[in-house]
Amino acid sequence: MHETQLAHAQVAQLIEELTILVADNNQHMRKTTRMMLTNIGAKSIYEVDDGVAALEAIRTLDPDVMILDWAIPVLTAPEIMRIIRSPGVFPKASLPVIMVTERGTRTRVQESIRLGAHELLVKPMSPKALQHRLVNIFLAQRPMVRTGKYYIPQPRRQVDWALIEGA
């Protein structure tokens, strides 16, 4: 099998097997994200509309990845990340998180990294960008490391996108 075909098959199988939690208070954005995930092959997608529900869903559903909107209410995204990234306190401290924000400023990107987000997407996001973030998380896995008081993914290594372009 050609390398590109193998990569396409790997990406499709990887995404199909994921349990994905979408945490966003905007019903339209949840529906849009679900549609994008379904279109790239995801089968197991759960949705919550506030930060408290997100923490409970992580505990009960044990998702493989969470897509977290920065502007989620009740508990903010930074508060949720501080709770999740508490090893020994929270049961899934290394949960991969894709942070979604309307502001792609350098400050927002740096804060997302400090909080322990694996990836960041700026709205409006595309299915291709979402797929790339999922692939980055699972095909180029990074162990969690402690940096000062933060628990974050180790700095990234590159994924060879030439192998999976068009996936």
In a domain, 162, yes or no: no
* pLDDT given at position 104: 84
Please report whether residue 89 resides in a domain: yes
The answer to whether residue 164 sits within a structural domain is no
- DSSP track, 33-70: HHHHHHHTT--EEEEESSHHHHHHHHHHH--SEEEEET
What confidence score (pLDDT) does residue 86 get? Answer: 84
64 within domain boundaries:
yes
pLDDT, position 162: 47
Domain that holds residue 128: 3-157
Q: What is the CATH number of the domain that holds 132?
A: 3.40.50.2300
Distance CA 51, CA 68 (A): 9
Q: What is the pLDDT of residue 166?
A: 45
Q: Please count the structural domains in the chain.
A: 1
116 lies in a domain?
Answer: yes
In a domain, 102, yes or no: yes
| pLDDT for 36 | 96
The predicted structure's pLDDT at residue 64: 96
Output the pLDDT for position 146. 73
- What six digits make up the tokens of 138? 């699972």
| Inter-residue contact 104 to 80 (CB < 8 Å) | no
- Supply the pLDDT for residue 2: 47
Answer yes or no: is 167 within a domain. no
Digit-by-digit pLDDT tens for the chain (167 residues) are 444 554 777 788 889 999 999 999 999 999 999 999 999 999 999 999 999 999 999 999 999 999 999 999 999 999 999 999 887 788 888 899 999 999 888 899 889 988 989 999 999 999 999 998 998 888 767 776 776 665 667 665 544 444 444 44
A 10 A CB-CB count for 158 gives 7
Burial (CB count within 10 angstroms: exposed 0-12, middle 13-18, buried 19+), residue 106: exposed
Q: Which amino acid is at 48?
A: V
Position 148 scores a pLDDT of 65
Determine the pLDDT at residue 125: 92
For residues 2 and 32, is the Cβ–Cβ distance under 8 A? no
Q: Would you state the pLDDT for residue 5?
A: 54
What is the strand order of the sheet 65-69 is part of?
A: 44-48, 19-23, 65-69, 97-101, 119-122
Q: Give the pLDDT of residue 113.
A: 85
Is residue 130 in a domain?
A: yes
One-letter amino acid of 29: M
